[in-house]
Amino acid sequence: METILLLAHTEPDGTLAKPALECLTAALALGGPLTIGLVGARVEAAASQIAGCGAARFLAVTGEAFAQPRYATDTAAAEALCRTAGSSIVVAPSTSRWARALPGVAYRLGGRVDTHATSLAAENGAPAVTRWFYRQRMEAVLSRRERPWVILLDSGCVAPWSGPAGTASVEPVAVAVPETRTTVTGVRAPKADEQTIRPDAKLLFVAGAGWTKKQSDGAVHAAEAETLILGFLRAAQASLGGSKSLVDLSGEGEAVLRFMTHLNQVGQTGSTPRHPKGLSTCCHGEEPHVVGWRFVNQRRAINLDANCGWARGKADVLYVADAFEVMRHVNRLLRA
Amino acid sequence: MSTPFQIAVCGSIVPDPLQTLEPVVGPSGPSLKNEMMLPAVLDPWAGHALFEAAHLARSTPGSKVWLVSLGPKAKLQQVMMTVAQKVPFELVALDGPASGFTDSFETAAALAAAIAAIPGLDRSRLLVFGGWESASRGAGSTLQMVGERLGIAEQFQGVDRVTVGEDGGLEILERIEGGRHQVSVCAAPPAVLGWATGDLPEPRNNPQIGMANMRAIMPALQRAKATPIPNTGLSFASVSLPKQQRETRIVKDMPAEEIAREIVAWMAEE
Ligand SMILES: Cc1cc2nc3c(=O)[nH]c(=O)nc-3n(C[C@H](O)[C@H](O)[C@H](O)COP(=O)(O)OP(=O)(O)OC[C@H]3O[C@@H](n4cnc5c(N)ncnc54)[C@H](O)[C@@H]3O)c2cc1C
């Protein structure tokens, strides 16, 4: 039978975030004996949070050196936990921290790794991983003979584990802090009122290059576009996505939407966010953009062109209309 | 003045993203229908890595850039015709699959061996660049394993900017959750950097750079070693296209105000 290790790192407040709890659900569903491996400055809060999950063993690597995400220290901690647990399957959430380090750990263990798993199922006693290839264009189910097999699960694919807190007995795993030439100096974030990426938002609002193009009066209305979009984001608490054409324009310093960066880009060379709903505006809906909508369930689009990409089975509803006009009304209704 | 860098950019080719892709499953595993006929491009994030490498090399005299590519030789040659016109680099080619279905563990072994074999490479000045994820496998695992095989434990992924400090240290911005960047300083090479979009626009084609590059690229392609990737122990139960094609309701001639009401009502639905 497979033995399972769930690897989780704590958040700055010492607890486990949703992606780790989702992974716990997935790890429990595999059915084998479960060990929890925790990494962080301190892990008491995290261990208490999931004490009642039924894990056979709790292991932890702790200390200030393991507070911050950093390849050298994260790989050392994760490697030690994997070696101590000796599990054949290692499941971890696909956070930026683990995604940066665990493939390297798989190599050190002589194992294999699969990332961006969207589902994890036990089939004939062995796990099978579902993941997408070619930027969400096709979905495959795969399995591996090599062990340990490290699997990073994408967030939003299973319900987070929930259960009563308690007290877990945690076995410390000693790790010599590896020498590193890297110092983490901080986090650069947009100012709170410019924060436009909200991974947990119910709605993704996508702005395309049309917002910056000449309109029916022959003029560009970038300032109004900015006001309408920001007004909507604030009122709806939506997350902002952009097409490549729009974010590239912003990057080239043209008079466009100042809050748009490459981080907002959705699609082939952008992100593939998960939201229950998405509203596309002034975006043509070309395939390299729409592959980024794979995990957006309900989709609507506003475009002047009745023959744009969204019309061809990519959106549930296409409103053939002027997005400026529609969004003015939408904002008024949301304010009311 | 900074000490020169030796930058090995790992990057291969992928089908042009405007193409429709269809999987086929054969006896040796999955592949793409008409894979060898599909027009290919340099993997986009690896392309950003190459342009950033060239920029860093240009601003640090004495630096050098290699592009290390595992792909079918004939397709590599086609793509190099364009890529060679962008920035100066030397090609290290390996003749093997560029498929998304090849395993990153074995791919990394091939790439690391190719980098280690670069004549005269100064490993203490080495920066291994690449895209943080490919547009084919999209795993973000190859570079980490290349770094491990080369003994490099200073690694960064989702990099959008590198700034060389007065003391030669590298300040690196990596993408993290919620549209933010983690900032780190790596005191010195060697290091592995998996690039996201970076800061630079795609360079214009420069036929002179193209001609200079091609003189070394053609012999490099001729030397390309056959590099099979057997996918040991990996099996695919299925590969399929998403079923869902939506029945799009196209709404024409509805007043903007009414559309707005419909959208607001839809947003409020659970
Ligand atoms: C290698 C590669 C990678 C790529 N990666 C990505 C990616 O990650 N993401 C991405 O988005 N694209 C990507 N693309 C580009 C993609 O193919 C398209 O070029 C891009 O998505 C077009 O952006 P757009 O729809 O905003 O702009 P446009 O094609 O210019 O469309 C603008 C739209 O706005 C509409 N419009 C104008 N005014 C109004 C108005 N008042 N009201 C309503 N509608 C209006 C127009 O009808 C038009 O449909 C990639 C391309 C390549 C080659």
Residue B5 reports pLDDT greater than 70: yes
How many percent of chain B have pLDDT more than 70? 99
Angstrom distance (rounded) from CA B210 to CA B208: 5
Question: Which structure tokens are listed for A49?
Answer: 């949070």
CB-based contact B118:B126 (threshold 8 Å): no
- β B126-131/B191-195 pair status: parallel
User: Average pLDDT over chain A, rounded to whole?
Assistant: 95
Residue with CA at minimum distance from ligand 1 atom 37: A210
**How many CB atoms lie under 10 A from the CB of residue B208?**
9
Angstrom distance (rounded) from CA B45 to CA B55: 15
Angstrom distance (rounded) from CA A278 to CA A271: 14
Residue A128 reports pLDDT greater than 60: yes
* Most ligand 1 atoms within 8 A of CB, residue of A249, A286, A308 to mutate: A286
CA A69-A74-A79 angle, 5° bins: 165
C-alpha distances in Å from residue B149, one per residue of A60, A110, B91, B158: 27, 12, 21, 20
Q: Render A269-336 in DSSP notation, one character per residue.
A: TSB---EEEEEEES----HHHHGGGTTEEEEEEEES-TTSGGGTTT-SEEEES-HHHHHHHHHHHHH-
Q: Which of A42, A84, A36 is nearest to A63 (CA)?
A: A42
Angstrom distance (rounded) from CA A332 to CA A336: 6
- Closest in B15, B141, B248 to A310, CB measured: B248
CB-based contact A108:A95 (threshold 8 Å): no
pLDDT digits (tens, 9 = 90+) for B62-116: 999 999 999 999 999 999 999 999 999 999 999 999 999 999 999 999 999 999 9
Provide the residue ranges of all domains of chain A, joining segments of one domain with +.
4-172, 192-335
Per-residue pLDDT averaged across A233-256, rounded? 85
How many percent of chain B have pLDDT more than 90? 95
Provide the residue ranges of all domains of chain B, joining segments of one domain with +.
6-226
Angstrom distance (rounded) from CA B10 to CA B234: 23
How many percent of chain A have pLDDT more than 90? 92
Between B199 and A184, the higher pLDDT residue: A184
Do residue B147 and residue A146 have CB atoms under 8 angstroms apart?
no
pLDDT reported for residue A195: 86
Angstrom distance (rounded) from CA B63 to CA B127: 11
DSSP annotation of A266 reads B
Model-level pTM? 0.96
Angstrom distance (rounded) from CA B207 to CA B210: 5
CB-based contact B12:B134 (threshold 8 Å): yes
State in words which class domain B6-226 has: alpha beta
Do residue A318 and residue B236 have CB atoms under 8 angstroms apart?
no
User: What is the third-level CATH fold of A192-335?
Assistant: Rossmann fold (3.40.50)
Residue A251 reports pLDDT greater than 70: no
Which atom from ligand 1 is nearest to the alpha carbon of A246?
26
Nearest residue on chain A to B102, judged by CA atoms? Answer: A133
B268 lies within 8 A of chain A by CB: no
Angstrom distance (rounded) from CA A10 to CA A133: 30
The model's confidence at residue B56, banded by pLDDT at 50, 70 and 90, is very high
Angstrom distance (rounded) from CA A310 to CA A286: 8
A306 lies within 8 A of chain B by CB: yes
CB-based contact B168:B185 (threshold 8 Å): no
Which atom from ligand 1 is nearest to the alpha carbon of A208?
26
Interface of A with B in 232-271 (CB under 8 A): 236, 248, 251-252, 261-265, 268-269
Per-residue pLDDT averaged across A33-48, rounded? 98
Q: For A22-26, A217-221, A259-263, which range has the lowest pLDDT when averaged over its residues?
A: A259-263
- Cα-Cα-Cα-Cα dihedral of A301, A307, A313, A315, to 10°? 0
Per-residue pLDDT averaged across A316-332, rounded? 98
pLDDT reported for residue A38: 98
Residue B22 reports pLDDT greater than 90: yes
User: What is the third-level CATH fold of A4-172?
Assistant: Rossmann fold (3.40.50)
Do residue A326 and residue B140 have CB atoms under 8 angstroms apart?
no
| Helices within chain A (DSSP H only) | 18-30, 44-49, 71-85, 96-108, 222-236, 244-251, 287-290, 323-335
Per-residue pLDDT averaged across A177-199, rounded? 92
Angstrom distance (rounded) from CA B9 to CA B146: 11
pLDDT digits (tens, 9 = 90+) for B206-262: 999 999 999 999 999 999 999 999 999 999 999 999 987 799 999 999 999 999 999
| A115-144 exposure pattern, b = at least 16 Cβ within 10 A, e = fewer | bbbbebeeeeebbbbbbbbbbbbbbbbbbb
**Residues with Cβ within 8 Å of residue A161, at least 6 apart in sequence:** A21, A22, A24, A25, A28, A50, A53
Alpha-carbon distance A171 to nearest alpha carbon in chain B (angstroms): 27
The three state secondary structure string of B91-114 is EEEEECCCCCCCCHHHHHHHHHHH
CB-based contact B162:A83 (threshold 8 Å): no
Per-residue pLDDT averaged across A12-35, rounded? 97
Place of tokens 């263990």: A109
Alpha-carbon distance A323 to nearest alpha carbon in chain B (angstroms): 9
pLDDT reported for residue A250: 72
Establish how many alpha carbons lie within 13 A of residue B167's alpha carbon, considering only the half-sphere containing its beta carbon.
Answer: 6
The model's confidence at residue A126, banded by pLDDT at 50, 70 and 90, is confident
Angstrom distance (rounded) from CA B117 to CA B130: 18
Angstrom distance (rounded) from CA A88 to CA A304: 55
Place of tokens 């584990």: A161
Angstrom distance (rounded) from CA B102 to CA B96: 10
**Residues with Cβ within 8 Å of residue A201, at least 6 apart in sequence:** A237, A238, A239, A275
Q: Which of B74, B78, B114 is nearest to B94 (CA)?
A: B114
Per-residue pLDDT averaged across A43-67, rounded? 98
CB-based contact B115:B74 (threshold 8 Å): no
The model's confidence at residue B2, banded by pLDDT at 50, 70 and 90, is low
Interface of A with B in 147-206 (CB under 8 A): 178, 180-190, 195-199, 202-203
- Closest in B155, B197, B236 to A104, CB measured: B155
Residue A208 reports pLDDT greater than 90: yes
Q: Which of A64, A55, A52 is nearest to A10 (CA)?
A: A64
pLDDT reported for residue A225: 96
Pocket of ligand 1 (CB under 6 A): A 208-210, 213, 215, 243-246, 265-270, 282-284, 286, 288-289, 302-305, 308, 322-324; B 17, 44
Q: For A66-70, A253-257, A291-295, A320-324, which range has the lowest pLDDT when averaged over its residues?
A: A253-257
pLDDT reported for residue A124: 72
The model's confidence at residue A255, banded by pLDDT at 50, 70 and 90, is low
pLDDT digits (tens, 9 = 90+) for B118-133: 999 999 999 999 999 9
Angstrom distance (rounded) from CA B56 to CA B51: 9
Residue A252 reports pLDDT greater than 70: no
Chain A contacts of B191, Cβ < 8 Å?
181
